[in-house]
């Protein structure tokens, strides 16, 4: 038996990367999985992988920046499975090649809307459904090591992920007495479509590998393993925190790592 047998787990941004990894892991754990995204082809591939775990997924398009879409997603999930037990607010974007002096208002708004507003809307709708059910639940949001460190590049991404880290604390305080926990996962350098540029720059990949204490860059299975823990009964007393599957890189100094990178160039 899987530790999530009979439970219903929803993952936004599940068409690729960490979202796909978490959806497949939840299926391995026995959950009924809801796949939400805007990438139809990607969702189909995730659904195929979930079916390999002998689970029948439910797939629905959802723009997490629109409250109507998010509410419809939760309603459709309940109509299909009768309940919602785990919700992962994973959908995210990153603005590339910007800094605080060059980022446009459009780039800022899109990143904040998806990465922070979208997380808020997803957690809020899922929490209210879980409260109505009266049987507890698990809320999980995806932050990043960049929400812990900050950085000169991608300021909206850093701000949004730092906001997620604080947002889960507020939700944890609001829903804990309902038997619901809310936590965040802050991945380090993980091989996904979003970080594909790392693979295009061998010197950067080598540098990040060398500076990650475990000696390698992670993959979505490492994030999914943390999500599996937070979604299960073993994490019943974990609430309002962020867990960093990052190979130990945040144990060091970001500023020192960047200084070393500059010297390496």
The CATH number covering residue 69 comes to 3.40.50.720
> Does residue 259 lie within any of the structural domains?
no
Predicted pLDDT at 99: 92
Predicted pLDDT at 113: 98
> Does residue 94 lie within any of the structural domains?
yes
> Does residue 214 lie within any of the structural domains?
no
pLDDT in tens, 19-36: 999 999 999 999 999 999
Predicted pLDDT at 264: 42
Once rounded to an integer, what is the mean pLDDT over residues 110-115?
98
| Pairing, β 137-142 against β 180-185 | parallel
Contact 231, 32 (CB under 8 A): no
> Does residue 99 lie within any of the structural domains?
yes
Residue 96 has pLDDT above 70, yes or no: yes
Catalytic residue (one of 157, 171, 189, 244): 157
Q: Which domain holds residue 112?
A: 8-193+219-252
Round to whole Å and give the CA distance between 209 and 80: 43
Predicted pLDDT at 217: 87
pLDDT in tens, 34-57: 999 999 999 999 999 999 999 999
Total domains in the chain come to 1
Once rounded to an integer, what is the mean pLDDT over residues 122-148?
97
> Does residue 200 lie within any of the structural domains?
no
Q: Is 157 a catalytic residue?
A: yes
Once rounded to an integer, what is the mean pLDDT over residues 85-109?
94
The whole-angstrom distance between residue 244's C-alpha and the CA centroid of its chain comes to 12
> Does residue 199 lie within any of the structural domains?
no
3-state secondary structure the chain: CCCCCCCEEEEECCCCHHHHHHHHHHHHCCCEEEEEECCHHHHHHHHHHHHCCCCCCEEEECCCCCHHHHHHHHHHHHHHHCCCCEEEECCCCCCCCCECCCCCHHHHHHHHHHHHHHHHHHHHHHHHHHHHHCCCEEEEEECCCHHHHCCCECHHHHHHHHHHHHHHHHHHHHHHHHCEEEEEECCCCECCHHHHHHHHCHHHHHHHHHHCCCCCCECHHHHHHHHHHHHCHHHCCCCCCEECCCCCHHHCCHHHHHHHHHHHC
pLDDT in tens, 138-196: 999 999 999 998 878 889 999 999 999 999 999 999 999 999 999 999 999 888 765 65
How far is residue 209 from each of residues 51, 146, 212, measured CA to CA in Å? 34, 17, 5
Once rounded to an integer, what is the mean pLDDT over residues 103-119?
97
> Does residue 201 lie within any of the structural domains?
no
């Amino acid at each position: 038996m899987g530790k999530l047998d009979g439970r219903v787990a929803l993952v936004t941004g599940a068409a690729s990367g960490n979202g796909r990894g978490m959806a497949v892991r939840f299926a391995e754990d026995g959950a009924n999985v809801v796949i939400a995204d805007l990438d139809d082809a990607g969702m189909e591939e995730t659904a195929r992988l979930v079916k390999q775990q002998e689970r029948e997924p439910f797939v629905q398009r959802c723009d997490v920046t629109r409250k109507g879409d998010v509410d419809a997603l939760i309603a459709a999930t309940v109509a299909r499975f009768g309940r919602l037990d785990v919700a992962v607010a994973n959908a995210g974007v990153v603005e590339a090649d910007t800094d605080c002096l060059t980022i446009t208002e459009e780039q800022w708004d899109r990143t904040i809307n998806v990465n922070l507003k979208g997380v808020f809307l997803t957690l809020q709708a899922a929490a209210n459904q879980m409260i109505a059910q009266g049987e507890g639940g698990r809320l999980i949001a995806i932050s990043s090591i960049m929400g812990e460190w900050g950085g000169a590049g991608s300021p909206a991404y850093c701000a949004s992920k730092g906001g997620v880290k604080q947002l889960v604390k507020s939700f944890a305080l609001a829903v804990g007495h309902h038997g619901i926990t809310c936590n965040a996962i802050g991945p380090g350098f993980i091989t996904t479509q979003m970080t594909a540029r790392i693979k295009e720059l061998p010197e950067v990949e080598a540098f990040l590998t060398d500076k990650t204490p475990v000696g390698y860059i992670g993959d979505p299975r490492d994030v999914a393993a943390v999500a599996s823990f937070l979604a299960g009964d073993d994490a019943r007393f974990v609430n309002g925190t962020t867990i960093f599957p990052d190979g130990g890189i945040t144990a060091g100094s970001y500023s020192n790592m960047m200084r070393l990178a500059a010297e390496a160039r």
